[in-house]
Structures are given as structure tokens and as C-alpha cells.
Amino acid sequence: MFFDANPIGRILTRFSKDITILDYFLGFIFNIVTHTAFKIVGIFILMIITIPYMAIPGVITLVIMYFLRKRSITAQNDTQRIEAVTKGPINTKLGSLIDGLSTIRAYQKQEYFVDKFVIDNDINGDAMFTFHGVSRNLSAALDILSFFFVLVNAYMIVLLKHHTDSLDLVLASISLQFSIEITVNFNIAVRFATEAENQMTCAQRTIEYAKMKSEDDFEKSTDPVDFPVVPTIEFKNMTMRYRKALEPVIKNVTYTVKPGQKIGIIGRTGAGKSSMLQAIFRLVEVDDDGQIIIDSHDTRKLGLHCLRKNISYIPQTPFLMGASIRDNLDPFKVHSDEEINEVLEEVHIKDYVSSLKEGILTDVGESSLIFSVGQKQLISLARAILRKNKILVLDEATANVDIETDSLIQKTIRTKFKD
């Protein structure tokens, strides 16, 4: 459910840019702000010791600087947040373009997708340049403020020297020299303090993920040792929605699947077929007034590991992990190599796997290009056979394969899962 509501680009931004800023840049910025702030305080103390009257323009300058920063920080926070939000679609679209590169070239739609990508990139660029424009505007205002402060300091030195001889010219020269540095230090301190506050949006976005409600417990003390003994699935007034604010995708469904029965759920696109399967695996929780009961156990009271490991699943689009073939078939390492080879023989893919250099230890890789879609589906079927579970769930398992593989999968299912 989390991955349905959060595009991959948004997730990548949180775990790349946002985490990098929190781990490195924020500490660096705080160090600069602290160092510069102490330096400015020291300059003010020196100037007040030399010319006590400088306390008045100094306080006025600080007050004006505070209001300038307060006025600018809202715009900077908003533009910083917009820049972060508009960066997500770029990463999402880039990943989609890479995955569908062959299809795009086949239909000669390169220019169309380049234009779409450039539009997203321009939107992100607009937000980024707006952010920098607001920052530069604040810097220019601080430069003007610092200039007038230095001008007042120089004028007061001349005025006091003209009317009194008690002014120490050495200290006055040092005061004037250091007051010139305020032009730079004011700018640095305020700009980096503002930058630190802006970058705290990254902390806000990261904390938002950290506080998200996680899945239920992986294991529970009440989990049955042998589950399910009698593979019965019972839906009682089951209502499911993907988010509380949305309308239910499945409403008040009640039926029972008895042991050994083969049940087909038929409906148009969007009718809720796959949603019903997600509810069985508790990928999405059902409403409180409904229940899914398997072997007299309410699935909400079962640990996720106990529930999911005892239900075999063959998806519509096969998925292989970036690991060896053996790890894809037996991720928990509970079966021997002989059992795995026997299962591969049953789905008629053993000869191909044996022809690979490292056999079942061959690394599939992230792109899994060594297998066709049909072969991936056969591996998904082999994984289900190897588990020997009493419940098998299929989500249009033969929708993306050729007729020969379709026939092979159906024949194997009728043979291996007849009970």
C-alpha cells in the first residue's frame, strides 16, 4: 500500500537528498552559523567598548535584520518545499523511461517522452531558481543594511574625534576595520541560518516517513504451530478501502471457500479482484466491521509471517529478486538442491537453468534479462510448488505469457494443486 501511494521518485528523494542534507549539510551549516554569530558578537562588544553610542545603531540594525529575515523565511520555506516536491516526478519519470526504453524506441516516441521529461525538469528548475532569487534578495537587503551600519560607525568616530580628545584612535581604527567585516559576516550568518531553517523541511519530510504507521507484528505469540490445518477461507462482511478518506473498493462481501474448492473471481477492470487478494495477504487492512477467516483464525490476529508464508501466490506480472535462482525459489533456505531441481523439472525449465554457467546459483540480477516473461512465470510457479502450501492464489497468472506456456502452467496447476 505504501508503494502504491508513494511514487518511486518521492521515495528516492527522501532516501538520497533529504538524508544527505540531514547527515552532512545541516551540521556543516550549523557550524558556520555558530562561528559567524560569535564573531559578530565579538565585533559588537569591541565597538561598544570603543564607542558606547554604537549600541544604539547596533540594536536597531539587529531589529531590522530580524524583520528582514522573518519576511524572507516564509517565501524561502515554501519555494524549498516546492523544489523538493517537483523533484520527485523527475526521478519517477526517469525510472519509467529506463524500464520502457525498448517500447519507446519501438514506437518511435522518443521526442514525445523527452518533451514530457523536459517539462517536469523545467518546473523543478523554476522552483529552484525562485528559491535562489529569494535568497539573493535577502542578501542584497542585508548588504545595504550593513553598509549603513558601517557608515554610521565611521560618522560617529569622526564626530567624537572632532568634539572630544578622549577617543583612542587605535581602538577606533580597529573598530572601523572590524565593522567593515560585518558586511560579510551579517550576510553569512543570516543567510546560513535561513538556509538551516529551510533545510529543516528535509527533516520534516524524513520524520513524516519515520512516523508512518508500519505493518502489524511479523510474528505473534498466539500464532498456531500448524496453519492452516483445514484450508478454509471465509469472508464476513468484508469492506476494504485503500485510504480512510476514499470510497470502499470492496463493500460487504461475504462468501466461503471450502477445502479443495477452486474459486474464480471474475470482473471488469477495477472491480476489485486484485484488491481482494491484497486483503487476504493483509497488504491492505479491511475495515473493522469485516473479517477474513482462514481455518477459523481471524487473519488480523495472525502474525504477517505466519499468514503469508502459508499462502502461495503466482502474480500476473512475475517478479524476481536480484539474487540467485536458488534464493528466488527458496528464500528461507529450507529445501535441498535436489528438491529445487525436481521442481524445476516439473515446470520444464530445468534444462535451461542447467545450461547456465552456475546453474541454480546463477545471479538473476536486478533486470533479470536472462529470463523471458514466460520463464519468470514458470519460476513463480516452481516457487509455489516448492512451498507445498494448502492455499494457492493466482492473479491472472497466464495473462502475459504465450499459449504454450499458458497450457503448461494450467496443466501443472491441475496436477500439482489438485487438492
Q: Are residues 185 and 63 in the same domain?
A: yes
When mean pLDDT is compared across 27-31, 91-95, 164-168, the lowest value belongs to 164-168
CB 285 within 8 A of CB 300: yes
Q: Residue 112 in 3-state DSSP?
A: helix
Both 293 and 369 in one domain: the answer is: no
- 174 and 238 share one domain: no
Same domain for 166 and 19: yes
Does residue 215 belong to any structural domain of this protein? Answer: no
Query: How far apart (Å, rounded) are the C-alpha atoms in residues 153 and 57?
Result: 9
Residue 116 lies inside a defined structural domain of this protein: yes
- Where is the domain boundary, 278, 304, 330? 304
pLDDT at 234 over 90: yes
User: What gap in Å lies between CA 43 and CA 37, rounded to an integer?
Assistant: 10
Q: What does the pLDDT read at residue 412?
A: 84
Mean pLDDT of 21-40: 86
DSSP letter (8 states) at residue 348: T
**Model-wide pTM > 0.75:** no
pLDDT at res. 235: 92
CA distance 28 to 30: 6
- For residue 282, the domain's CATH number is 3.40.50.300
Side-chain-facing half-sphere of 102: CA atoms under 13 Å: 2
Q: Residue 27 pLDDT > 90, yes or no?
A: no
Q: Which helix (H) or strand (E) holds 276?
A: helix 273-280
pLDDT by residue (tens digit) across 54-112? 778 878 887 888 888 788 888 887 887 888 788 878 877 887 888 788 888 999 988 99
Model confidence band, residue 8 (pLDDT cutoffs 50, 70, 90):
confident
Question: Can you tell me whether residue 314 is helix, strand or coil?
Answer: strand
Q: Looking at the 3D structure of the chain, how many domains does it have?
A: 3
Pair (107, 44) in one structural domain: yes
In a domain, 373, yes or no: yes
- In this prediction, residue 233 has a pLDDT band, given cuts at 50, 70 and 90, of very high
Is 216 domain-assigned?
Answer: no
Output the pLDDT for position 366. 55
Look at residue 165 in the predicted model and tell me its pLDDT.
66
Residues 160 and 247 in one domain: no
Let me know whether 300 and 339 are in one domain. Answer: no
Q: Given 270, 304, 338, which residue is the final one in a domain? A: 304
Q: Is the distance from CB of 234 to CB of 256 less than 8 angstroms?
A: yes
Q: Tell me the pLDDT band of 167, cut-offs 50, 70 and 90.
A: low
Report the range of poorest mean pLDDT among 117-131, 229-243, 277-291, 356-370: 356-370
Residue 359 lies in a domain: yes
Is residue 217 domain-resident? no
149 shares a domain with 67: yes
pLDDT digits (tens, 9 = 90+) for 258-277: 988 888 988 888 888 888 88
Which of 60-64, 83-87, 245-249, 293-297 tops mean pLDDT? Answer: 293-297
Same domain flag for 53 and 182: yes
The answer to the question of residue 331 being in a domain is yes
> Does some domain include residue 403?
yes
> Are 136 and 164 found together in one domain?
yes
On whether both 289 and 323 belong to a single domain, the answer is no
pLDDT given for residue 86 in this prediction: 87
Residues of the domain holding 289: 222-304
Among 289, 304, 319, which residue terminates a domain?
304
Q: Please, which pLDDT band fits residue 194 given cuts at 50, 70 and 90? A: confident
Return the percentage of the chain with pLDDT > 90, whole number.
6
Shared domain check, 160 and 44: yes
Q: Residues with Cβ < 8 Å from 143, sequence gap 6 or more?
A: 183, 187
User: Does the structure show a pLDDT above 60 at 367?
Assistant: no
